[in-house]
Structure formats: structure tokens, C-alpha cells
Amino acid sequence: LPLGWGFLRESPPTEHTERLQPGDRILLYSDGVTEARSSGGDFYGEERLADTVIRATAAGAPAPEALRRLVQGLRQHQGHKLRDDATILLTEWHPSGRGGGTRPGAAEEHGRNPG
């Protein structure tokens, strides 16, 4: 469910708790990702998004590489020109002391919409 959709409902969203295991990943994204259109008008969509992340994970790609592949696929789908704001957060849980920490500012290197 894209972020923010729960606020459009008349009743409050249902809460769900899930116990994460080491290596589990959480992907959050805005509708600017799934509603990104190709030059032919096709949406990027949830299925393509999930397929990209699943393939990268199955290939053993660490979370930053899986995110890079997702952003690359999204940009290719739109002819390398983002037409809407798109937010993606992919995080992976590591047991204490084993984090693969990313240096500050690294997320900004994945590309902002310049215009």
C-alpha cells in the first residue's frame, strides 16, 4: 500500500506487527514510483517494482545495490526523465554490530530530480 493511502479511508488503518529476522528488508515507496509512466503511457507498477527488488535480492545484491537497480529501472522506464516526485526507502536489518552502514549523504547520490 503506497504511503499515505491509509489517511484516505473513513476508518483507521489496521495495525499489523511483524517480527523481523536478520537480513529482512523493508521497502517503502511513494505513488510517484508505481505511477511513473513510460513514453507509451504504461505505469511502472507494483509488479515491476516487486520483481526488480526480488530479482536483485535473489541474486545476492546487498540493499544499496538492490536500491540502485530499482532506481535505474525506474529511470529507464521513464526515458531517464522523472516526471513526478518519487520516494524510495529500502532498509535491511542487521544484528547489532554487523551493520553495513552507509556514509552520510550517500542516499542523495542516487539521484534527485534536477528540475
pLDDT digits (tens, 9 = 90+) for 83-100: 788 899 999 998 876 555
Q: What is the pLDDT of residues 1-46, one digit of tens each?
A: 555 656 666 777 678 888 999 999 999 999 999 999 999 999 999 9
pTM for this model (two decimals) = 0.70
Neighbours of 25 (CB within 10 A): 14
Is the pLDDT assigned to residue 108 strictly greater than 90?
no
- Whole-number average pLDDT of the chain: 82
Which residues lie below 8 Å from residue 25, measured CB to CB, with a gap of 6+?
Answer: 53, 57, 63, 66, 90, 91, 92, 93
Q: Which has more pLDDT, 112 or 12?
A: 12
Query: In the predicted model, what is the mean pLDDT of residues 46-57?
Result: 95
Average pLDDT of the segment spanning 42-62: 95
State the angle between helix axes of 45-58 and 63-77 in degrees (0 to 180), rounded to the nearest 10.
Answer: 140
